[in-house]
Amino acid sequence: MSYHKPTIGILTGGGDCPGLNAVIRAATKTAERLGYGCIGFLRGYEGLVDPVSYMPLDSRVTADILLKGGTILGSSNQGRFTALVGEGKRVQIDPVLLARAATTLRRLGVLGLICVGGDGSLAIAQQLHEHGIPVVGVPKTIDNDLGATAFTFGFDSAVATATDALDRLHTTAASHERVMVLEVMGRHAGWIALHAGIAGGGDVILLPEIPWTFENVCRKILERDAQGKRFTLVVAAEGAKLPGGGTVHGDGTPGTQRQVRLGGIGEIVAGEVSARLGRDVRTVVLGHLQRGGTPTAFDRMLATEFGAHAVRLVHEGRFGETVCYRPPGITSAPIAEAIRNLSTVDPRGSAVQAARALGIGFGDDGDGGQPFAAGEPPRSGHADGGIA
């Protein structure tokens, strides 16, 4: 028996991103206006059990967090709650742990738990749901790789940071007639590289979704030289596969697993281009700068709508669903569906077509062709689980 006021719980799981605090604020304010209490569990799912750790949330606590990066609740992408490993392989969470989490929520009078997370954290939420725990999901990730939603918040801020980096690299690359390689995050989806590459005037964009070769990258650089543009900006997604196959791990070795730490492709591209062309090539790895800092206005807006809508789902008892953005509005979908369909860049999508039309290279044989040569009508751009 609970002696608490009906309460909504919220937690932030997985890697952080700009906009998490905007969700917490929106959910808290909405819950308060509906007459619910609100608490935030600390360090992601870890705060649910041994030791149970949480903080009360109200509109005074969340008063100044809209524009703050990170999450006031803390987060964890390691620990006892793991539901995905390797290539999206499901791992069963210990039922004892799930039962303890259920007990915690019952004791605190939590009638619904809002889980904010990417595919890994939403996969945990799904297992909580299957265990009978009342959860709703809110999708976040800078990678923008969840098929159920046209955009996740955090993505736009990451793209803005990467675009700003390209703007800065542009002037120094031009001054020194250098090839500059910018490595960006995104895991196994090339969304950040594609959007920042286009917005920041990149010349070559290397994506996980488009096989590429060093020959084609070098050809593009020489083509630009011949046009009198003796500098080139290459944007490499951390998950872009090497021409020989395999992604590059954080320690520089090729790998094939999904939850591994990616990183190092930029140095490899720079080294190879430098060796082949005898040119000065420099690399910048943007890393976690893409995850920190203030959310853009778009991300604050999206996160705010997500937070308010998540409380609505709890209020209406629609558990096992996640909020999502399907333009023009916010709606919801089963969490199970959201984690099943990951979204990657469609190589024939409209953004790639537009980039090619401008002469941006992707390091493949499609470089250098006539704009829209294949006569393909523009497509939404999502390869998997795309938004109609």
User: 364 CB contacts (<8 Å, ≥6 apart)?
Assistant: 210, 211, 212, 213, 216
- Out of 115, 262, 268, 345, the only residue in the binding site for ligand F6P (CB under 6 A) is 262
Distance set, CA 106 to CA 6, 94, 100, 112 (Å):
10, 19, 10, 10
User: 229 CB contacts (<8 Å, ≥6 apart)?
Assistant: none
- Out of 142, 162, 303, 351, the only residue in the binding site for ligand F6P (CB under 6 A) is 142
The continuous run of DSSP H or E covering 217 comes out as helix 214-226
- Out of 7, 9, 11, 15, the only residue in the binding site for ligand F6P (CB under 6 A) is 15
* Structure tokens that stand for 140 in this block: 């976040």
- Out of 291, 300, 309, 356, the only residue in the binding site for ligand F6P (CB under 6 A) is 291
145 or 367: CB nearest ligand F6P = 145
How many other C-beta atoms are found inside a 10 Å radius of the C-beta of residue 368?
Answer: 12
239 or 349: CB nearest ligand F6P = 239
Footprint on residues 88-117 left by ligand F6P (CB under 6 A): none
Annotated active-site residue 64? The verdict is no
Supply φ then ψ for residue 331, to 5 degrees. Answer: -140, -160
Tell me which stretch binds ligand F6P (CB under 6 A): 104-112, 182-190, 310-318, 322-330: 182-190
- Out of 84, 185, 196, 360, the only residue in the binding site for ligand F6P (CB under 6 A) is 185
Closest residue to bound ligand F6P by CB: 185
The answer to whether 143 contacts ligand F6P (rule: CB under 6 A) is: yes
Q: b/e string for 267-289 if b means 16 or more Cβ within 10 A?
A: bbbbebbbeebebebbbbbbeeb
- Out of 25, 178, 187, 195, the only residue in the binding site for ligand F6P (CB under 6 A) is 187
165 or 281: CB nearest ligand F6P = 165
Supply φ then ψ for residue 36, to 5 degrees. Answer: -90, 155
Residue tagged active-site, from 143, 145, 156, 346: 143
16 or 32: CB nearest ligand F6P = 16
Rounded CA-CA distance 272/259 in Å is 27
Tell me which stretch binds ligand F6P (CB under 6 A): 91-99, 183-191, 251-259, 304-312: 183-191
Distance set, CA 228 to CA 177, 217, 360 (Å):
10, 17, 16
Tell me which stretch binds ligand F6P (CB under 6 A): 140-148, 171-179, 278-286, 317-325: 140-148
* Structure tokens that stand for 119 in this block: 């595919």
Q: Report in angstroms how near the CB of residue 306 gets to ligand F6P at its nearest.
A: 17
Largest Cα separation within the chain, whole Å, is 77
Q: Report in angstroms how near the CB of residue 314 gets to ligand F6P at its nearest.
A: 26
Tell me which stretch binds ligand F6P (CB under 6 A): 80-88, 141-149, 172-180, 374-382: 141-149
Cα torsion 376, 381, 382, 383: sign: positive
The answer to whether 182 contacts ligand F6P (rule: CB under 6 A) is: no
Give me the residues that bind ligand F6P (CB under 6 A), please.
15, 77, 118, 141-143, 185-187, 238, 261-262, 291
